[in-house]
């Protein structure tokens, strides 16, 4: 039985809290807009095969560098006559995949390590702290470039590199949270009741870190989306002809004077995708973490 269930005032405090959070979230129009746009990007990525009017690699050498609103190509075509809209739609897959999976990977590695360091402390805490310092000594792109050299350039490896790059920072966040939670009354009560460590960590510590982790995820996802674009732009991520917004920007560089829109469209896609997650993240932070409410 959890502490909350024994309090006489609230009948179903969890459902009440959820309702309250939902109400607070809905009162923030920018956060709601961020959520809607982010969901739209995710849907576009999932439904790409059905939404895209053409195959992203279908070339038409009779219609190269066609301007927007050319018949059949609402956003025009690129230097190989490939439909821009279709490539943008397919390109969202790489961004969303890298954003979500890299964040998931970072969470999967960092949260357990952070919890162990913060909850158990003792000798393990300074060891993990130093190991985190060592990883933090490698700037993200340098780490990603090094990993790409070791693992070879691909979307999967770029995702792994981005995820690993986020691990040290996230360990620190998880450790800080666990450190605070271990002093909470309900955790002490569970210890006094003889609950096992697994039960305490799984039932009390981890769920209470939920809001912090959700906020962290909404910060990490846009950073990972930009990270994927950067790595693909540098040739260390998605490999052509597979479409990715980063690859499209890299290809567009040779045509900046002839067809600047080839660079404008994928950049705007990255911007709006990342902005939507940032708006959502800011809104969630305000709702879930009252300490940072402005």
Which of 38, 45, 148, 220 is in the footprint of another protein by CB under 8 A?
148
Q: Nearer Cβ to another protein, position 58 or 79?
A: 79
Q: Is 140 in the site for another protein (CB under 8 A)?
A: yes
With CB under 8 A as the contact rule, the residue among 124, 264, 289, 290 that binds another protein is: 264
- Binding flag, residue 235, another protein (CB under 8 A): yes
Task: Count other C-beta atoms under 10 Å from residue 234's C-beta.
Answer: 16
Residue placing its CB nearer to another protein in the complex, 54 or 245 = 245
Ramachandran region, residue 69 (left: φ > 0; alpha: ψ -120 to 50; beta: rest)? left
Give the nearest distance from C-beta 96 to another protein in angstroms. 15
Residue 269 C-alpha from the chain's centroid: 16
In the 8-state DSSP scheme, what is residue 66? P
Which residues, including other chains, have CB under 8 Å from residue 166's CB and lie 6 or more apart? 102, 103, 106, 110, 220, 223, 224
Separation of alpha carbons 237 and 230, rounded Å: 8
Taking the CA atoms of residue 50, residue 53, residue 55 and residue 57 in that order, the dihedral angle to the nearest 10 degrees is: -140
Please pick, from the candidates 51, 131, 189, 195, the single residue that binds another protein as defined by CB under 8 A: 131
Counting contacts by CB under 8 A, is residue 275 touching another protein?
A: yes
Rule CB under 8 A: choose which of 9, 11, 150, 192 binds another protein: 150
Q: Which residues bind another protein (CB under 8 A)?
A: 130-131, 133-134, 136-142, 145-146, 148-150, 152, 222, 226, 229-230, 233-236, 249, 252-253, 256-257, 260, 263-264, 266-267, 270-271, 274-275, 278-279, 282, 294
């Amino acid at each position: 039985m959890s502490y909350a269930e024994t309090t006489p005032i609230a009948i179903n405090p969890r459902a009440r809290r959820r309702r309250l959070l939902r109400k607070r979230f809905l009162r923030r129009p920018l956060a709601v807009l961020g959520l809607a746009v982010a969901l739209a990007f995710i849907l576009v990525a999932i439904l790409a095969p059905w939404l895209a009017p053409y195959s992203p690699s279908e070339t038409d050498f009779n219609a190269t560098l066609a301007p927007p609103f050319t018949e059949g190509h609402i956003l025009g075509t690129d230097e190989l006559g490939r439909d821009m809209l279709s490539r943008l739609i397919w390109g969202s897959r790489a961004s969303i995949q890298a954003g979500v999976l890299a964040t998931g990977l970072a969470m999967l590695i960092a949260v357990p390590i952070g919890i162990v360091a913060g909850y158990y402390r003792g000798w393990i805490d300074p060891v993990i702290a130093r190991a985190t310092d060592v990883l933090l000594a490698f700037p993200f792109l340098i780490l990603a470039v090094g990993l790409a050299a070791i693992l070879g350039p691909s979307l999967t490896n770029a995702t792994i590199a981005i995820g690993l790059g986020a691990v040290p920072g996230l360990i620190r966040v998880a450790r800080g949270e666990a450190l605070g939670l271990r002093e909470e009354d309900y955790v002490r009560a569970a210890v006094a009741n003889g609950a096992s460590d697994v039960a305490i960590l799984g039932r009390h510590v981890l769920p209470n870190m939920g809001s912090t982790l959700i906020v962290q995820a909404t910060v990490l996802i846009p950073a990972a989306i930009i990270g994927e674009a950067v790595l693909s732009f540098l040739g260390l991520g998605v490999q052509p002809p597979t479409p990715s917004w980063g690859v499209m920007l890299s290809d567009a560089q040779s045509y900046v004077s002839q067809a600047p829109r080839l660079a404008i469209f994928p950049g705007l896609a990255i911007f709006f995708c990342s902005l939507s997650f940032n708006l959502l993240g800011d809104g969630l932070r305000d709702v879930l973490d009252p300490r940072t409410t402005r």
